[in-house]
Amino acid sequence: MDYREEIRQLRETLNEHGYRYYVLDDPIISDREYDLLNRRLEELEARHPEEVTPDSPTQRIGGKILEGFVPYAHEVPLESLQDVFNAEEVAEFCQRVDETLGDGTLFSIEPKVDGLSVALEYRDGLFVRGATRGDGRTGEDVTENLKTIRSIPMRLPDKLPRLIVRGEVYMSRAVFEELNVQRELQGKPLLANPRNAAAGSLRQLDPKICAERKLDIQVFNMQLAEGLSPVSHGETLAYLASQRFRVIPHKILSGVSACQAEIARINDQRTDYPFDIDGAVVKVNSLPDREKLGSTAKFPKWAVAYKYPPEKKPAQVLDIVIQVGRTGVLTPKAVLTPVRLAGTTVTNATLHNQDFITEKDIRIGDTVVVQKAGEIIPEIVEVDRSRRPEGTVPYVLPEVCPVCGAPVRRDEDGAAIRCTGAECSAQLLRNLTHFASRNAMDIDGCGPAVVQQLVDSGMVSTAADLYRLQAPEVARLEHMGEKSAENLLRAIEKSKSNDLSRLIFGLGIRQVGEKAAKVLASHFRTMDALCAATAEELTEINDVGAVTAQCVVDYLGSAQARDLIGRLRDAGVNMESTAQLVDERFAGMTFVLTGTLSRFERKAAQALIEERGGKVAGSVSKRTTYVVAGEAAGSKLKKAQELNIPILTEDEFAKMLE
């Protein structure tokens, strides 16, 4: 078969299976079969790059990191809707419409997805641009990130000259929960709700990060269609479904009572949807009638958004228990009498921290009012003090970790109270994953899944145990085998010779990031010298503040940390700094790297600067000494020009290194 024909057939096959999987939820081949087809297409396109097209399934995730988002003017404004909050206001809206158009008006009733509104533009059936709503008239071009959403078709069956549709990008509840589990494991702050998570993901400058977030979309409006003359909203949605869009579920109804009943049904079944909803939308179905009704300065007169009130119910606080998270934070949780909220039975509510408990004066035995924040997380709104039993006392979090008994410490810059134990079992999974990560001890093959198996099997309970693993035992783990076990043990052995800075960072000391670890290793040179340092000595070092110094002293002074470091030393892990300064020509200088560097990899360029006494920052400021600009440099280059910061080409930077 001619390679061009094979490429064409592979694209059609992959697009068909992608549509069945991501839009219809009805796959007919396995993930492995799909991946093999995709790999074959990648191989052919690599051999024949002239055949690569923008709508190819291989082009959904761009490799280029964006410098920023370009403003985009919407040809058809993306209007917001007027909110209504009760059945009477829905009735008033329907009556106003009937008074203008006559009785018997048909309405489309749809769930209101709680996400981020976007417009998608197609030319001759090909997806060419996508933008956020912004203020309705001007948004941001996020085309590269929207390409990563698998339910957005890259090419349509019909080749209309132009088509613009509007939809709501969202993160499903299942993906949101999975993402928060991973963030907790990595020691990152948890995301508040799926809407914020979706909005933040769509505005990532790296499309690959956006792709990892597994966003989805519900298309709910046709903004413009050249070569098409639909007469109703229902007709446009049916057409968009035929073009392989994931279209919002809807019903076409007439009469106030029917509309109100459908709004109530959507509310009753809101947990059945994979996405969060915060209301229901009522729209006039006829497109000519919409033209007659027109719009106010703010809203269209042909639609309203009914906002569901948060459901609140009373419950009694039976107990307050403390959970220790994977980052060591002590989180109080109220154990409640069971109460039904937003379709699920609630028996617990987070109390966040000591400040939250004190502010609301929540006590064991209290009757409290509970609701679901963002329709997901149960929270206590207030205390009904009129029903407080006699003898209750204010609740205070413990002074030691309930898991390992180590002292707890309140963060200097927040309300979190954290366990200081270096070997606390509650933090084990997170600590080990961080210890083995690429920027720490760089143990290849020791990712979260492998760490989880090592912990579950009882082979590892501290980082030092990694250096006592035996290949036959590791080989018995699921998906490992002899070869993988040998590779893992080689990577562990190799990590023993790492520079001290990697070990310091790998210990996971609060406030000590990768750069701070390098500074500490460079200054003290040995782990023993660092362990003996006082807070005063630490604060004398540039870039080490009082908070960081105290965190280092507290950590290294604890019995658990001393025990861990001792066992790592016994295992043969290097405790000295091997990094050497080439010279100090960049001492006191701060560099910013921007654009695509062709002569240097980012990490290598950063290392060259640091080896000569300089620092690398992520943003341009008045304190920046030089900006090194590669190809397609964007906002950082512009800011450097505005601040009159000297700008170096790669060749000029290379000459400075000679």
List active site positions: 112
Residues in contact with 447: Cβ distance below 8 Å, sequence separation at least 6, in sequence order = 433, 436
Q: Which residues contact 459 (CB under 8 A, 6 or more apart)?
A: 465, 469, 473, 474
Distances (CA, A) of 649 to 347, 462, 593, 632: 61, 47, 10, 12
Q: Are 111 and 105 in contact (CB under 8 A)?
A: no
Cβ neighbors of 396 (< 8 A, separation 6 or more) are 354
Closest residue by Cα to residue 107 from 99, 120, 116, 98: 98
- CA neighbor of 406 nearest in space, from 427, 426, 420: 420
Long-range contacts of 604-610 (CB under 8 A, 24+ apart): 605/653, 608/657, 610/518
Q: Which helix (H) or strand (E) holds 62?
A: none
Give the tokens for residue 231: 């007469």
| Rounded CA separation 219/318 (Å) | 45
Helix axes 546-556, 559-570, angle to 10 degrees: 70
Please say whether the beta carbons of 148 and 171 come within 8 A.
no
501 touches 523 (CB < 8 A) = no
By residue count, the chain amounts to: 658
Task: Give every CB contact of residue 36 below 8 A, 6+ residues apart in sequence.
Answer: none
Q: Do residues 102 and 289 make contact, with C-beta atoms less than 8 angstroms apart?
A: no
**How many C-beta neighbours within 10 Å does residue 405 have?**
12
Provide the 8-state DSSP code for 189: P
Pairing of strands 138-140, 71-73: antiparallel
Alpha-carbon separation of residue 436 from 231, 439, 443, 445, 488 (angstroms): 61, 8, 5, 9, 11
- Residue 270 is given by DSSP the state G
